[in-house]
Amino acid sequence: MGGKYRITGDAYPRMRRPRHRRRLVLAGIGAVVALSLAGWGTLQLIDVFTGGDKSASAADHKRDCPTPKPSAASAKALPKPASIKVNVYNATTRSGLAKSAAEELKKRGFTIGEVGNATKAYDKKVPGTGVLVGAPTATNGSFTVLGTQLAGTVQKTDTRRTGEVDLILGTKFKAFSTPQEATAAMAALTKPAPAPSSSC
């Protein structure tokens, strides 16, 4: 061979590998190490700013915030049927309706007052099942209890100062709710309200 690769004597030229490939490998390893360190540092910063161990925080939060217990005082207080005096009036053309209705209410524990025909203001002018008339204080008491006995009644208040309630039977009146239905409706009304959700 001629030139610089010419063999002279017993010495042979040394063929070296290019060095640029080794540099690329070292650069790649260095980049991986740098990215790993950067990721680890980021996680440490997140732990610092979020308060560290989330499970411990949740346990402390649960311990400091006890579960609220339902209160029996939240049950709605309603008057007993015996404390409600009911005047029963018939606004229909069916005779004897007020008397039979009053007898049924008496069996269910209500106190009965006057029984007879409705006044001209209501006579044959009640298209529904009935109208309940009483003082404004009866709205959330006597009206509610008496309403469990007859669905679809309309409530009206006047200026009376007594606690008695008028039940004026209308054209669509056929029968009172069954005792089972009335009892279930009363139980639903006196059921304690759900406990408020905790703000902890």
26-46 residue pLDDT tens: 666 766 666 666 666 666 656
Instruction: Name the residue among 128, 122, 165, 160 with its Cα closest to residue 144.
Output: 165
The CA distance from 155 to 135, in Å, is 10
In this predicted model, what pLDDT tens digit does every residue of 83-127 receive, in sequence order? Answer: 999 999 999 999 999 999 999 999 999 999 999 999 999 999 999
Say if residue 62's pLDDT is above 60: no
Instruction: Name the residue among 103, 158, 168 with its Cα closest to residue 132.
Output: 168
Say if residue 69's pLDDT is above 50: yes
In this predicted model, what pLDDT tens digit does every residue of 4-30 receive, in sequence order? Answer: 555 555 555 555 555 566 666 666 676
Residue 147 pLDDT:
95
Helix (H), strand (E) at residue 169: strand 165-169
Residue 72 pLDDT:
42
Residue 67 tokens read as 């579960």
Phi/psi at 57 (nearest 5 deg)? Answer: -65, -40
Range with lowest mean pLDDT among 49-53, 59-63, 73-77? 59-63
Kindly report whether the global pTM for this prediction surpasses the value 0.85: no
Say if residue 73's pLDDT is above 50: no
Residue 107 one-letter amino acid: K
Residue 105 pLDDT:
98
Say if residue 175's pLDDT is above 70: yes
Compute and round to an integer the Cα radius of gyration of the chain.
45
Residue 77 pLDDT:
86
Residue 135 or 40, more confident = 135
Residue 74 pLDDT:
42
The CA distance from 63 to 82, in Å, is 48
In this predicted model, what pLDDT tens digit does every residue of 141-166 receive, in sequence order? Answer: 999 999 999 999 999 999 999 999 99
